[in-house]
Every structure is written in structure tokens, then in C-alpha cells.
Amino acid sequence: MVLDILAYDFMQRALLAAIIVAITAPVVGVFMVLRRLSLMGETLSHITFAGVSLGVFLNIFPLWSALVATVLGSMGIAKIRQSARLSGDAALAVFFALGLGGGIVLLSLSRNVAVSLSSILFGSVLLVGWEDIFVISGTSIFTLGTVFLFYKEMFYVTLDEDLAKVSGLPVNWFNYLLSILAAIMIVAAMRVVGILMVSAMSVIPTLASMQLSRSFRQTIFLAMFLAVISVFLGMFIAFYAAVPPGGTIVLTTVSIFFLTVAAKTMRRKPNVKTS
């Protein structure tokens, strides 16, 4: 049955892209969730939207312009947060609006009708081409490689910035790095689930994993595993039920999250809880 799916070229590419994203997104997601940067991810994905629209407008490959716009946006946000001239939330709100407004205007100005608004918003994994796979794999290798190299430092900064500073680590540098990784991950994941659901790919598997895992390292690997399962199930269901894969993948992820919550509740000893 699974082989049915693989009979199609576009399905092979779609699955490949989705799996690569599923392996990568939660790795960044773990750090974003624990540093309470989920909202930043949401904002960045709107800047990604503007970047894609810019690419469409200028008639260049949209992932490249999205990558540049999102990385620049992430650094802008990090800079503003550090200088603390605007509160974190205020800065995010401004960028959020800027991304969405700019994106819509640019998109409507461009004559290129091949790119639909809905494919940007909700993903178009079935239309993934080899150039997309190339960008997605590149960003994935960069992200996984960076986390592998700086795993212990990134954990340390996430656990406690002050303590990491006292140990002499360049904490600001790691904050920029995480923003950039988030930006890159969002651009890669956008093709699969669309910008509206992109943070679901990174955040929800992490939240699910946190219900069950017994260490930080395990949290990362379990989140990857759950995301890959979601992608397989989601694509499979989408294929046979003829519904959009982006939404199906996200729904599967959310279902898995609820299952882990249930599993955790059942595992816990039935203590009498006074309310």
C-alpha cells in the first residue's frame, strides 16, 4: 500500500522533503520552546511570507529571497530584544505586521499567477521540485551540523543564560545563532506545511516529546521521531483521503501530542489531587 504512494515522482519528492523537515524542525523547536521563543517563530514565518512574495515579485526563486529576508528579520528581532528599546513582544508585533502587510502587497503587485497565496499559507508539498529539495537539504545539513557542534553550549545557554555568561561563553552570539537557525528552519518547513503551520512542525513535536522524555538529549531525539511519524501518517492519510497534506501532517502531529499527554497522565500514579 505504501508503495502506491511511491509510484509517483511528485510523491517521492514530497515525502523526501517532508521527512527532511521533520528531522530538522524539532531540533530547533526544542530550543525555541524552552527559551520561550515560540512566538518569535510565528513572527519569523510572517517575514518569510514577505520574503517569498518578494521573490515572486522580482521573479527569482522564492526560497532564496525568503531565506535572506527571514535571516535578516531574525537578526533584527534579536538585536532589538538585546538593546531592549522595545519590549520583546512589541518588537515581535511590529515585525509580524510588517511581514504580513508587506507580503500581501508585494504578492498582489506581481503578475506571477503561478504562485498562489494558499500554497504559501498552507504549503504545497506536492509541488516540491528538485531545487526545493536542494535548498531544504542544504538548510537541514547546516542546522543539524550546527546543533551537533554546539550542542552542549546551546543546552547551557538554554538552561541559564547568566550561568553560561559567568562561564565565559559568548551568550549573545548563541542567541543570534538560534534566531538564524529558526529562520532557516522556517524557510525549509514552509514548503511542506505553509507559513501558517510552520511552527507546528517544530513546536508541537517538541511539546509531545517533553511529555515522555527522561532527559534533554532524549527530548530532541523523541521529538524528531514523533515528527517523522507525523509526516508519514499525514502524507499517507492525505494521499488516500485526497485532502491537503500540509493540514493533515499538522493534524497528525497534534493528535500525537494529545496521545502523549494521555500517556503521561496514565503513567502517573493515581494520586488524590486536592483542588
Q: Rounded to the nearest 5°, which phi and psi values hold at 59?
A: 60, 45
User: Exactly one of 60, 170, 243, 263 binds another protein (CB under 8 A); which one?
Assistant: 170
Write down the least CB distance from residue 247 to another protein, Å.
28
Write down the least CB distance from residue 34 to another protein, Å.
6
User: Exactly one of 1, 7, 130, 162 binds another protein (CB under 8 A); which one?
Assistant: 162
Quote the DSSP letter at residue 31. Answer: H
Asked if 215 touches another protein (CB under 8 A), the answer is yes
Residues 185-214 touching another protein, rule: CB under 8 A, are 209-210, 213-214
Q: How far apart are CA 161 and CA 174, in angstroms?
A: 10
Exposure string over 84-96, b if 16+ CB within 10 A, otherwise e: eeeeeeebbeebb
Q: Enumerate residues 6+ apart whose C-beta is below 8 A from 17.
A: 125, 128, 132, 133, 136, 191, 192
Asked if 175 touches another protein (CB under 8 A), the answer is no
Asked if 216 touches another protein (CB under 8 A), the answer is yes
Helix boundaries (H) for 2-150? 2-6, 9-34, 38-58, 62-83, 88-109, 117-122, 130-149
Look at the block and give the residue holding cell 502517573.
268
Asked if 135 touches another protein (CB under 8 A), the answer is no
Q: How far apart are CA 13 and CA 35, in angstroms?
A: 33
User: Exactly one of 97, 166, 262, 263 binds another protein (CB under 8 A); which one?
Assistant: 166
Judged by CB under 8 A, which stretch of 74-82, 84-92, 168-176, 231-239 contacts another protein?
A: 168-176
User: Exactly one of 169, 254, 259, 261 binds another protein (CB under 8 A); which one?
Assistant: 169
H or E, element range at 247: helix 245-267
Write down the least CB distance from residue 144 to another protein, Å.
15
User: Exactly one of 60, 109, 141, 159 binds another protein (CB under 8 A); which one?
Assistant: 159
User: Exactly one of 112, 218, 240, 258 binds another protein (CB under 8 A); which one?
Assistant: 218
H or E, element range at 233: helix 216-241
Q: Which residues bind another protein (CB under 8 A)?
A: 34-36, 149-150, 152-153, 155-156, 158-160, 162-170, 209-210, 213-219
